[in-house]
Amino acid sequence: MRAILFGVALFCTGCVQTQYRPVVDSGVSRGNYEEDVMDCQSLANQRPAAGSAAGGATAGAILGALFGLAVGLDGDDVAEMAAWGAVSGGVNGAAYGTMEQQSIVSRCMEGRGYYVIAD
């Protein structure tokens, strides 16, 4: 069970990629959209979402284990709580990291003169 949960957590952290393309006002043309969005995506990749996922998984595992111990569990039960915490923390961390990257791309595009309609 733990190996499956750990595998799911690793799979989720490995899937995080920035290919976010913000919706911009088509009437605003300050430059080459394709080049600008690629530059902004490259900038966002300097803050990898996988790092947030790994940090979330680590924190989740620790909190899960501590919670298991606090409610009186021991042995494999504590390990299962830690595994559940790792998966939950990893997924939440990946989501946060992805949102952070999207925000970086949007702000970068706005800084280049585009009017970002939707994040």
Closest-CA residue to 63 (of 82, 78, 76): 82
Residue written as token pair 């990946």: 94
Q: What does the pLDDT average to over 80-93?
A: 91
Q: Which residues pair with 118 in a beta bridge?
A: 23
pLDDT, mean of residues 31-36: 87
The per-residue pLDDT for range 42-76, each reduced to its tens digit, is 999 888 777 888 888 999 999 989 989 999 888 88
**Torsion (CA) 19, 94, 8, 81 in degrees, nearest 10:** -170
Tokens 């300050």, residue located: 30
pTM of this prediction exceeds 0.75: no
